[in-house]
Amino acid sequence: MTHVQHVTDGPTELDRVYGLRPQYYAILMEDYNRSIERVDPIVIELCRLRMAILIGSKHDLSLRYKPAIAAGLTEEKVRELSRYEGSPLFSDRERRCLDFAEQFVIQSSAISDADVARVQAVLDPEAFIYFVKALSVMDQMQRGCVAFDIRPSNVVPSTFRNFRLAGQTIQ
C-alpha cells in the first residue's frame, strides 16, 4: 500500500495517488509519453528498466513498452540488463546509452563532455536531446513511484499508453 495517506479513486495505486492532482497528472503523463515516443523504442525501454532497477521502482519493473517488444526486444535481453556491459545481446549503441542512463540516475552532475561525446558518437544531436529529455521524465516518474511506494497493479494505468504488464519482473 502506498505511503500516501489519503488517495482518490482509481484502478491502480498510481492513479489513486497522482489522481489527487488530475490536471498535473494529465500534463505529466502527456509529457512522459511524448518524450519516450521520440526515442528508439528498444534503447529507451532498456534504459527505463535499468533505471528502474537502480532506483527501485517496482511499478516500472512490472511494465513493458509495447513498441520495444514490437521492434524485437526480448525478455531474454531484459533479464541480461544487469550484465549488459559484457553481454553479447547488447549493441555498442545500447551499451553507451545504458552507461549514460546509469550515470544520469546515480549522479547527473558528474556527466562530462567526454560522456556526452561518447553517446553522441551513436546518437545525432537532436536524438541526444530527445534521449536526455526521456531520461528526465522517466527519472521523475520512477523516483515519485519509489517515494510514494507505488506498487505494481494487475492492470496497466490508462495513462501509460503503449505499455503492457510484464510476464515477470526483473530485479
- Separation CA 78–CA 53 (nearest Å): 11
| DSSP code at position 124 | -
Mean pLDDT, contiguous 10-residue spans, the chain (171 residues): 78 92 96 97 98 97 97 96 96 98 94 96 97 98 96 93 82 52
Quote the cell numbers at residue 129.
536531446
pLDDT of residue 169: 56
Measured CA to CA in angstroms, residue 116 lies from 38, 48, 52, 100, 107 at distances of 19, 19, 22, 8, 14
By the 10 Å C-beta count (0-12 exposed, 13-18 middle, 19+ buried), 149 is classed as: middle
Task: Give the chain's domains with CATH numbers.
Answer: 13-165 (1.20.1290.10)
